[in-house]
Amino acid sequence: MQFQMRPDMSQLLLCKSYHMHQNIPNTIFPIITLTIATGIALYSWRRSRAVAIVAVGWAILSLFMARIPFFQTLDRWSDGDFLGFLAFSAVFATPLLLLLIELRRSATFQKFMDDTPTWVLTVTQIYRLTGTSFLILYVQGQLPAAIGLSNGLQDFIIGITALPLAWMLYRGFSWSRNWAIVWNLAGLFDLISAVTVLTLSISGLIELVPAPSRMGIYPLSLISIYQVVIAMFIHIYLLRRLLGSDKTASLQASR
């Protein structure tokens, strides 16, 4: 007499739920990337076709580049990962440097940025709310506190305050410029600290468990390659605008 084992339905549902949860970031992050690119393209189409085309083309290229497994495992460093880190750094730093160089050398691009109100550039950082995914991964034990908790909270704060700060800038309140400077410094510190922690960890100067190698593996790599670059560029540009002009000029630029 043969007995056939029947799978436990609760285990099947748990397994199915787990795989669905794993697929959510794989779906959401590309959608967010394409949404950002589409928003930039729609805003800039009549102002600068070049900016619109570059934004969309760069987003599509990032979707493919993010699929490169820069690191070998999700929770620890392996032999050869330092070469992957150098490649990951190049993919991250190159577009940021090109944007900063183009801003300095191209009068057309500089005019496009200067004509874009401060409040518009500020409100774009709403997408930093995706940093809550870092908090979720930290709770699940998949990211160390130095990135998952710290940068997850910082991203959430920057994202949730972007809209009210943009409104204050739009209204032209006299104290909004100072708040904007602090906000941009905090946002830039958030991004730089994540890069610093990743660098110190792979260099062996600090030991994190688990290692933040997941940051260079899809889908989190897509955030670094596209979203972080845009955020850093905007923060740098806004700080230059806010600190490089007097109070009246800053408020005029915000409208």
Q: DSSP string of 156-211? A: HHHHHHHHHHHHHHHHT-TTHHHHHHHHHHHHHHHHHHHHHHHHHHHTTSS--SS-
* Neighbouring C-beta atoms of residue 167, cutoff 10 Å: 14
The predicted model scores a pTM of 0.86
Output the pLDDT for position 109. Answer: 94
The Cα–Cα gap between 147 and 232 comes to 17
Look at residue 4 in the predicted model and tell me its pLDDT: 45
Half-sphere exposure of 214 (CA within 13 A, CB side): 20
pLDDT of residue 255: 52
pLDDT confidence of residue 14: 38
pLDDT given at position 8: 52
Predicted local confidence at residue 27, as pLDDT: 78
The alpha carbon of 137 is separated from its chain's Cα centroid by a whole number of angstroms, namely: 16
> What per-residue confidence (pLDDT) applies to 62?
94
Domain parsing of the chain, residue ranges: 15-253
Q: How far is CA 106 from the centre of its chain?
A: 25
Task: Tell me phi and psi for residue 206, to 5 degrees.
Answer: -135, 150
Successive 10-residue mean pLDDT values, the chain, 255 residues:
46 41 67 91 92 94 93 90 94 94 94 96 93 89 93 94 96 93 96 94 93 92 92 96 67 49
> Would you state the pLDDT for residue 23?
52
